[in-house]
């Protein structure tokens, strides 16, 4: 299916800020098919069973960017447009590596048990992914997942907001047969997500688009990578990344055009400057709330691009010579920032 520019009917019913979000995704490297798939994915999560209190809170945020009338019967609204995402969900479960505890569904006069998903290869997603163990696995599985979801949606020529509703409806159909199993699937969809896509997803789920629109690609990834960090450590790392991208409040010209090795050299140079600016008051890595063992030593192994590349491949699965698209490049570059800053922070450890 050939990607084309968004049609007016694609964006029907969406607020201006949601349209701006979609155009921003397109400028970052997601095509029309994958953007459609992202909105279907959000629907699969948002429509999953939960307590009424949590659902009300979730929809109050989502409504800001995807306004729908919850009082209406969703089947009557989009039933004629709905083609189903069963095959995509089944293969996602199969390739996720997660063990799901699904309820056995027994049908009259049929001995064979049924489940809400078939948990098998449907020939739709990335065949190289057998389980999600590293970031690269998540990135490549979800890239194929949202592509297949989007392709299925565009075949039916629906709008983006109706695609979201189709995702909601699909997961609600699963809920009718297995509430706990459906919740497990929704949680897996949410928590196995790759760094870049997770920030895009969270932007829609939280209803906070404005902040996202001002982010550079590396920042989109770093926001996810920094979530587990201790707050003060994360704030210092955020200051560091701003030194990489901005000068006197303006984005440094040509910074986005650097290849992996050029970016490494730039980040390392800025880290050495940062080391001089803050000789004593950087928070050490041990207080960051993250665990990275055997990282390249500051001012020694960290100076070697090949050693850093090998470390990233070992921990996160990426290698500079096997980047497939813009999104993977954003994640790889963000990991270089993450690693080099971690090495710098590790030099601040106090040895007793």
Q: Is residue 326 helix, strand or coil?
A: helix
Confidence class for position 79, pLDDT limits 50, 70, 90: confident
Q: Residue 78, class by beta-carbon neighbours within 10 Å (0-12 exposed, 13-18 middle, 19+ buried)?
A: buried
* Whether pLDDT at 59 is above 60: yes
Which residue's entry shows tokens 């704030």? Answer: 235
Percent of the chain past pLDDT 70, that is, above it, reads 98
- Provide the phi-psi class of 28: left if phi over 0, else alpha when psi is between -120 and 50, else beta: alpha
* Whether pLDDT at 256 is above 80: yes
Q: What is the mean pLDDT of residues 48-63?
A: 96
Q: What is the pLDDT of residues 165-194, one digit of tens each?
A: 999 999 999 999 999 999 999 999 999 999
Q: Residue 214, class by beta-carbon neighbours within 10 Å (0-12 exposed, 13-18 middle, 19+ buried)?
A: exposed
Q: What is the pLDDT of residues 111-167, one digit of tens each?
A: 788 899 999 999 999 999 999 999 999 999 999 999 999 999 999 889 999 999 999
**Contact status, residue 183 vs residue 59, Cβ threshold 8 Å:** no
Q: What is the pLDDT of residues 257-284, one digit of tens each?
A: 999 999 999 999 999 999 999 888 899 9
* Spatial distance between the Cα atoms of 87 and 109, rounded to a whole number of angstroms: 25
* Whether pLDDT at 352 is above 90: no
Q: Which two tokens stand for residue 74?
A: 């969703």
250, containing H or E segment: strand 250-251
Q: Which two tokens stand for residue 24?
A: 């921003």
**Contact status, residue 170 vs residue 82, Cβ threshold 8 Å:** yes
> Could you say which DSSP state residue 192 is in?
S
Confidence class for position 77, pLDDT limits 50, 70, 90: confident
Q: What is the pLDDT of residues 191-218, one digit of tens each?
A: 999 999 999 999 999 999 999 999 999 9
Confidence class for position 322, pLDDT limits 50, 70, 90: very high
**Contact status, residue 297 vs residue 343, Cβ threshold 8 Å:** yes
Packing angle of the helix pair 32-46, 16-28 (nearest 10 deg): 120
* Spatial distance between the Cα atoms of 230 and 237, rounded to a whole number of angstroms: 11
Q: How many other CB atoms are there within 10 angstroms of residue 132's CB atom? A: 23
């Amino acid at each position: 299916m050939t990607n084309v520019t968004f049609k007016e009917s694609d964006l029907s019913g969406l607020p201006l800020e949601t349209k701006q979000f979609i155009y921003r995704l397109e400028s970052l490297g997601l095509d029309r098919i994958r953007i459609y798939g992202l909105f279907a994915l959000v629907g699969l999560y948002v429509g999953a069973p939960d307590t009424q209190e949590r659902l009300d809170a979730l929809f109050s945020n989502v409504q800001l960017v995807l306004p729908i009338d919850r009082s209406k019967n969703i089947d009557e609204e989009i039933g004629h447009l709905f083609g189903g995402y069963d095959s995509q969900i089944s293969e996602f479960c199969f390739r996720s590596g997660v063990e799901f505890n699904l309820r056995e569904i027994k049908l009259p006069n049929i001995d064979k048990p049924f489940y809400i998903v078939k948990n098998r290869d449907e020939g739709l997603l990335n065949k190289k992914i057998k389980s999600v163990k590293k970031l690269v696995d998540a990135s490549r599985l979800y890239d194929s997942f949202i592509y297949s979801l989007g392709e299925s949606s565009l075949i039916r020529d629906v709008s983006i907001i109706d695609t979201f509703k189709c995702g909601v409806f699909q997961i609600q159909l699963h809920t009718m047969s297995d509430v706990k199993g459906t919740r497990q699937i929704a949680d897996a969809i949410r928590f196995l997500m790759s760094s870049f896509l997770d920030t895009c997803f969270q932007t829609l789920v939280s209803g906070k688009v404005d902040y996202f629109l001002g982010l550079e690609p590396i920042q989109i990834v770093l926001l996810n990578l920094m979530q587990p960090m201790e707050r003060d450590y994360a704030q210092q790392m955020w200051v560091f990344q701003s030194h990489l991208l901005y000068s006197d409040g303006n984005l440094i010209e040509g910074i986005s055009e650097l290849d992996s090795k050029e970016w490494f050299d730039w980040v390392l140079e800025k880290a050495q400057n940062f080391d001089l600016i803050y000789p004593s008051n950087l928070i050490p890595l041990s207080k960051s709330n993250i665990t990275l063992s055997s990282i390249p030593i500051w001012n020694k192994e960290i100076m070697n691009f090949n050693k850093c590349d090998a470390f990233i491949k070992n921990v996160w699965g990426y290698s500079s010579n096997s980047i497939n698209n813009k999104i993977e490049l954003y994640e790889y570059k963000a990991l270089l920032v993450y690693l080099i800053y971690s090495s710098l922070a590790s030099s601040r450890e106090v040895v007793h």
